């Protein structure tokens, strides 16, 4: 459950319809929705613009399917990974599986989830409504995951679970803005998942700071795998 299973960039298999969706998802994720024209999509698919309309009635139909596939992907991956642990696994492990799966789908599995996260706020309200149900379903899954962890006493009782969910998903979703896959195949995403899980569960505060004299050293991240550009 670590390295990318698919190249995460090139189309997956036969069928023009699938080819179009794969390329559209990639372009939407890389450039945005309005910044990707039907001519662009047709271009990278090796066909003329009009041919797209044999497979899809409109640009909105394409983006709707891309968005829905995106939620479906991350949703299935997450529940698959968590269910794999069995229902009586420690809450901390279940949370880590969920975080790892979400990041894996977002950054490695394919371009659909990343496209969803990046362009959802930039499509028409019509399209947004058409994919809201799936999104709401996935969010509900997270609500229950955290509620379950809290019910088991694994989360401090003064924690606002709604806020925890929103901030945690925010930290994860924002990775699409700065994460660049490494040239080599080293797995950076699982490292992010581990770090985030630890930070969320245990925090970063040091209660017993600075033993006298020989001051402790903060680990220096040698050659960060994630290339940051924005704040």
Partner DNA sequence: CAACCAACCTAGCGTCCGTTAGATGAGCGC
Partner DNA sequence: GCGCTCATCTAACGGACGCTAGGTTGGTTG
Residues near DNA (CB under 7 A) are 16, 36-40, 42, 46-55, 57-60
Sole binder of a copy of itself in the list 175, 181, 187, 189 (CB under 8 A): 175
Cβ closest to a copy of itself, residue 45 vs residue 175: 175
Q: Minimum distance from CB of 15 to a copy of itself (Å)?
A: 29
Residue with smaller CB distance to a copy of itself, 184 or 208: 208
- Report the sign of the C-alpha dihedral through residues 199, 203, 205, 211, in that order: negative
- Residue recorded with tokens 């004299």: 213
Which of a copy of itself, DNA, none is residue 8 near (CB under 5 to 8 Å by kind)?
none
Give the C-alpha distances (Å, rounded to integers) separating 167 from 163, 190, 194, 200, 201. Answer: 6, 19, 17, 10, 13
The answer to whether 81 and 2 are in contact (CB under 8 A) is no
Q: Which of residues 125-154 bind a copy of itself (CB under 8 A)?
A: 132, 135, 138-139, 142, 147, 150-154
Q: Which is nearer to a copy of itself, 23 or 29 (CB)?
A: 29
216 binds a copy of itself per the rule CB under 8 A: yes
**Alpha-carbon gap, residue 32 to 44, rounded angstroms:** 16
Per partner kind, with CB cut-offs from 5 to 8 A, the member of DNA, a copy of itself, none near residue 150 is a copy of itself
* Residues contacting 85, CB < 8 A, separation 6+: 93, 94, 97
The region of 3-11, 39-47, 52-60, 202-210 touching a copy of itself under the rule CB under 8 A is: 202-210
The total of other beta-carbon atoms located within 10 Å of residue 44's CB is: 16
d(CA 68, CA 167): 23
Residue with smaller CB distance to a copy of itself, 14 or 208: 208
Q: Is residue 212 a contact point for a copy of itself (CB under 8 A)?
A: no
How many Å apart are CA 140 and CA 146, to the nearest integer?
Answer: 10
In the bound state with DNA, the residue whose beta carbon lies nearer, of 62 and 78, is 62
């Amino acid at each position: 459950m670590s390295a990318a299973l698919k190249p995460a960039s090139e189309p997956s298999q036969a069928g023009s319809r699938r080819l179009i969706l794969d390329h559209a998802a990639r372009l939407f994720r890389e450039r945005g929705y309005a910044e990707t024209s039907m001519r662009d999509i047709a271009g990278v698919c090796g066909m003329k613009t009009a041919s797209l309309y044999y497979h899809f009635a409109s640009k909105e139909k394409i983006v709707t399917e891309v968005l829905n596939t995106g939620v479906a992907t991350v949703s299935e991956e997450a529940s698959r990974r968590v269910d794999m642990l069995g229902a009586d696994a420690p809450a901390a492990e279940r949370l880590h599986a969920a975080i790892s799966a979400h990041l894996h789908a977002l950054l490695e599995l394919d371009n659909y989830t990343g496209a969803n996260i990046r362009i959802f706020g930039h499509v028409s309200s019509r399209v947004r409504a058409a994919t809201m149900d799936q999104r709401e379903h996935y969010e509900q899954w997270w609500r229950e995951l955290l509620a379950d962890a809290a019910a088991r006493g694994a989360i401090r009782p003064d924690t606002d679970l709604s806020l925890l969910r929103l901030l945690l998903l925010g930290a994860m979703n924002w990775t699409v803005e700065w994460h660049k896959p490494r040239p080599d195949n080293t797995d950076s995403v699982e490292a992010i998942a581990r770090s985030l899980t630890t930070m969320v569960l245990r925090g970063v505060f040091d209660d017993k700071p600075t033993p006298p004299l020989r001051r402790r050293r903060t680990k220096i991240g040698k050659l960060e795998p994630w290339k940051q550009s924005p704040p």
